[in-house]
Amino acid sequence: MIDDLGPVRFPELRAKWGWLLALGVITLILGGLALANLFLATIASVYYIGALMLVGGVLHLIHAFQVKGWEAVLFWALSGVLYTLAGIMTFQNPLLASAVLTLLIGLALIAAGIFRLWAGLKLKGTSGWRWLAFSGAVTILAGFVIAMGWPVNSLWVLGLFLAIDLLMQGWSMIALALAIRA
């Protein structure tokens, strides 16, 4: 059984199960707080993305001067400037950034769902093809729900995704900690 092999293969994880449990509880609490105030969670998500864009932009600019050849320097410098400007704009107007990101998520879900539905239909007749097609249809529906509610839902969609992610991480860490403790 896998449960029997886990603690044997990862004794250091079993020895620290309490820390994993505590991390799971803290993550679960953070997910609950995010769920309680989706707007603040959305803003936090936007600032996080903005910070990553700023760091990425600066790193691209630094890299631009490490590359030999004029075309490559120009490409990396332009890329760095655009990333840095996008990061700055995210901090200057987090609501606009939230709206743009929410629309992109909706469109990305629609596109991913179409590909998944298509893949499921291409596998028609094989075991499990219906699940893949169903998954694609649900993803398309989720994308349309997000896109149809845009831009109003951009005040809470990113926060909801963050809250769900934190809640799922918290529960999974708690479950893992309790499983390896036994």
Which has the closest alpha carbon to 32: 158, 171, 166, 155?
166
DSSP helix/strand/coil, 150:
coil
Are 143 and 110 contacting, i.e. CB atoms less than 8 angstroms apart? yes
Q: What is the pTM of this model?
A: 0.73
Asked if the model's pLDDT at residue 71 lies above 80, the reply is no
Determine the distance from the C-alpha atom of residue 43 to the mean position of all C-alpha atoms in its chain, rounded to a whole number: 15
Distance CA 130, CA 137 (A): 10
pLDDT in tens, 72-109: 788 888 989 999 999 999 999 999 999 999 999 999 99
Least confident of 35-39, 41-45, 61-65, 100-104: 61-65
Asked if the model's pLDDT at residue 27 lies above 80, the reply is yes
Are 63 and 80 contacting, i.e. CB atoms less than 8 angstroms apart? yes
C-alpha distance from residue 4 to each of 9, 19, 20, 180 (Å): 9, 21, 19, 9
C-alpha distance from residue 61 to each of 70, 82, 85, 128, 173 (Å): 14, 10, 12, 47, 38
Res 9: pLDDT: 63
Res 1: pLDDT: 45
Distance CA 137, CA 125 (A): 18
The length of the chain is 182
C-alpha distance from residue 26 to each of 20, 97, 121, 138, 154 (Å): 10, 28, 42, 31, 27
